Amino acid sequence: MDDNKVVKEHVVTAGQRNYIFILLFILLLCDQADRMVVSSLFPYIQSAWGISDMECGLLVSVYFWALVICIIPASILVDRWSRKKSIGILSIIWSLASMAGAFTLNIRQLLTTRTIIGVSEAGYGPAGAAMLSWLYPLDKRARIFGIWNASQPLGMAFGIALGGVIAAHLGWRHAFGLVAIPGLIAAILFFFAKDYKSVPLEKTAGGDGVKAASKLKMRPSDVAKEFLKTPTLIFTYFGFAGLVFVIIAVSTWLPTYFHRVGGIPEDQASLKASLVLALSMVGFLAGGFLSDLWVKKKLNSRLVYAAITTAASALLVFIAFSISGNEQYAVFLVTGVAITLCFPALQAVTQEVIHPGLRGMSYGLSILIMNLFGGSLGPVVIGAISDASNLQTAMLVLPIFLLVAAGLFFIGSFFYMRDFNKVEKVTLEVAS
Nearest residue to 317 (alpha-carbon basis) of 408, 410, 395, 238? 395
Q: State how far the alpha carbon of 363 is from the alpha carbons of 76, 78, 127, 234, in Å.
A: 11, 11, 9, 12
Q: Is 333 exposed, middle or buried (0-12, 13-18, 19+ CB in 10 A)?
A: middle
> What pLDDT score was predicted for residue 125?
83
Give SS3 for 163.
Answer: helix
Rounded CA-CA distance 336/320 in Å is 11
Is the CATH number 1.20.1250.20 carried by domain 3-421? yes
Q: What is the pLDDT of residues 43-101, one digit of tens each?
A: 888 888 988 888 888 888 888 788 888 888 888 888 888 888 889 999 999 899 999 98
Please provide residue 253's backbone torsions phi and psi, each rounded to the nearest 5 degrees: -100, -10
- The four Cα atoms 344, 347, 349, 354 give a dihedral, to 10 degrees, of -150
Q: Write down the pTM of the prediction.
A: 0.73
Q: What are the structural domain ranges in the chain? A: 3-421
- pLDDT tens for the chain, 432 residues: list them: 444 433 344 467 888 889 999 999 999 999 888 888 888 888 888 888 988 888 888 888 888 788 888 888 888 888 888 888 889 999 999 899 999 988 999 999 999 999 999 888 888 888 888 888 888 887 788 889 889 988 887 887 788 888 888 888 888 888 888 888 888 999 999 999 888 887 777 776 554 444 445 677 888 888 888 889 999 999 999 999 999 999 989 988 888 888 888 888 877 887 888 788 778 888 888 988 898 888 888 877 899 999 999 999 999 999 999 998 889 999 999 999 999 999 889 988 998 898 888 888 888 888 889 878 888 788 889 889 998 889 999 999 999 999 999 999 999 999 999 999 888 876 666 765
